[in-house]
Amino acid sequence: MKILKILDWPSKQYYGETHHFHRWKKQLLDHGLKVEFYVDHRDKCLSDADYVMIHSRYFADGWQNINKRNARNEESLFRFLLSLRRSVDQLIWFDAADSTGSYDFPVIPYVDFFLKKQLLRDKNYYTDQEGSKDIRVWLNCLSPEQRKRFEPCPAEELHKVKLGWNIGFNDYRYFGYKMSRLSNYLSYEWYPVRFTNVDQQRPYDLAYRGTIHKDSSGQKDVFYQRNHLINLFEQMNLQMATGANVSKSRYWKELKASKLSVSPFGWGEICYRDFETFISGAVLVKPVMNHVETFPDLFIANETYVPVHWNLSGLEGQLTEMVTNYPYYRHIAENGQQRYHEAINDADKFIDFFNHSINNT
C-alpha cells in the first residue's frame, strides 16, 4: 500500500480538480493507493509519504499569483519544497494554470514531477530561452511588446513535465458547488450528472452568456475572443440566449435548449463551458485545439467539437451554416456527450493514467 498526500486548494478542495480523488477514494485504495487530504502546509503529518502532490493554487495568495510573486515568498516556497522533498519519495507539483502555458517553471528543480492540466504537444515551447513567446501560444500574433512572457523551463528539467488531468473531472452536478464537502459523499449512482438528450427540442440556435471585458487590467488580448463573440452576436439574426450573466438555473435551462454552444479561449483553452456543453447536449463550437494534449481527451475536431480559427475569422458564416444544417452536426454533440459520460465514470482508466504519470520516468 502506497500513500498519496494532497496539499489541496482550500477554496475548491471538494468540487475542483481533486474532486475525483474524493469520489474514487475507495477505488484508489483497491489499486493500492491510500489518499489523504491536507489544507495546511505546516501540518507535520504532510511529510513521510510515498507521494505528496501540491495543488499550485494552494499558494494563490502568494507566490503562485504572478502579481504577488516576489523574492521573499519565492525563497520561502523553495525552502519549503526542499524540506518536504527530503521526507517523501516523490514530490509532485500540480500546475493548475488555465492555459497550456505556465508561470510556475521556477519550482521545477525542487520537485520530481510537474503535472499540468493541459500540455502543448510541442513541449520544446516551454524551454524558449529567448523569452520572446507569449505564455498563451495563441497570442503570439501580438506584437512582441504586448506579449506576456514566462520564465522558461530549463531544458534539463523538461522530462519532469507530465500530463495531468483537466477540469472535466470537476463536480458539475447542480448542487455540487453549494453542497461542496457533502457532495463528495453522495453516490453518483443516485445523484449523477444529469445529461440532457441531444434529440430534445432546442428552440435556441445558440447560447453564450458573457459581457464585454474592458481593458483596464491590460488583458484585452486574453478577452479578445470573448469580446469579438459578443459584438458579432449583436449583428446576427439568430435565436440566441446571450447577454449578461444570469442565474445558474436559467443558464443551464438555456444551454439545454440550444443547438450550439460557443466556447472561446480566455485565460486558457479549456473552459467549464466545454463540459457544461457536453452535459447539455449542444454542439460545442471552439477554437481549434490540435496543439493541446489533455486528459480526458475529449477535443477531437469534427467529431466531438466543431473547430474555428483562433482569430475567429469566418465564424459568422460557420454558425449560420451550422444552424441551417443542424441535423448534420447533431452527431457531434452525441459523440462529445458519450465520450464525456464514459470518461467521468471510468475510475480504472483514470487510476491507470495517474499511476503512469507519476511512475513513468
Determine contact, residues 180/10, Cβ cutoff 8 Å. no
Q: What is the 3-state secondary structure (H, E, C) of 164-212?
A: CCCHHHCCCCCCHHHHHHHHHHCCCCCCCCCCCCCCCCCCEEEEEECCC
**CA-CA distances (angstroms) from residue 241 to 161, 173, 197, 230, 276?**
40, 22, 19, 11, 15
Residues 6+ apart with CB under 8 A from 89: 49, 50, 51
Residues 6+ apart with CB under 8 A from 215: none
Residues 6+ apart with CB under 8 A from 165: 17, 20, 117, 294, 295, 296, 350, 353, 354
Query: E strand or H helix at 115, and its extent?
Result: strand 113-116
pLDDT at 187: 76
Determine contact, residues 348/327, Cβ cutoff 8 Å. no
Measured from the Cβ of residue 184, the count of other Cβ atoms closer than 10 Å reads 19
Please, what are the domains in the chain?
A: 2-169+346-359 (no CATH), 194-343 (3.40.50.2000)
The pTM for the full model equals 0.94
Query: Position of cell 502532490?
Result: 53
Per-residue pLDDT tens listing for the chain (361 residues): 999 999 999 988 888 999 999 999 999 999 999 999 999 999 999 999 999 999 999 999 999 999 999 999 999 999 999 999 999 999 999 999 999 999 999 999 999 999 999 999 999 999 988 888 999 999 999 888 889 999 999 999 999 999 999 999 999 988 766 666 666 666 788 888 999 999 999 999 999 998 766 654 545 688 899 999 999 999 999 999 998 899 999 999 999 999 999 999 999 999 999 999 999 999 999 999 999 999 999 999 999 999 999 999 999 999 999 999 999 999 999 999 999 999 999 999 999 999 999 987 5
Query: Position of cell 450573466?
Result: 245
The DSSP code for 214 is P
CA distance 41 to 80: 9
Determine contact, residues 7/58, Cβ cutoff 8 Å. yes
The grid cell for 215 is 481593458
The backbone torsions φ and ψ at residue 51, rounded to the nearest 5 degrees and listed phi first, read -135, 140
Half-sphere exposure of 169 (CA within 13 A, CB side): 26
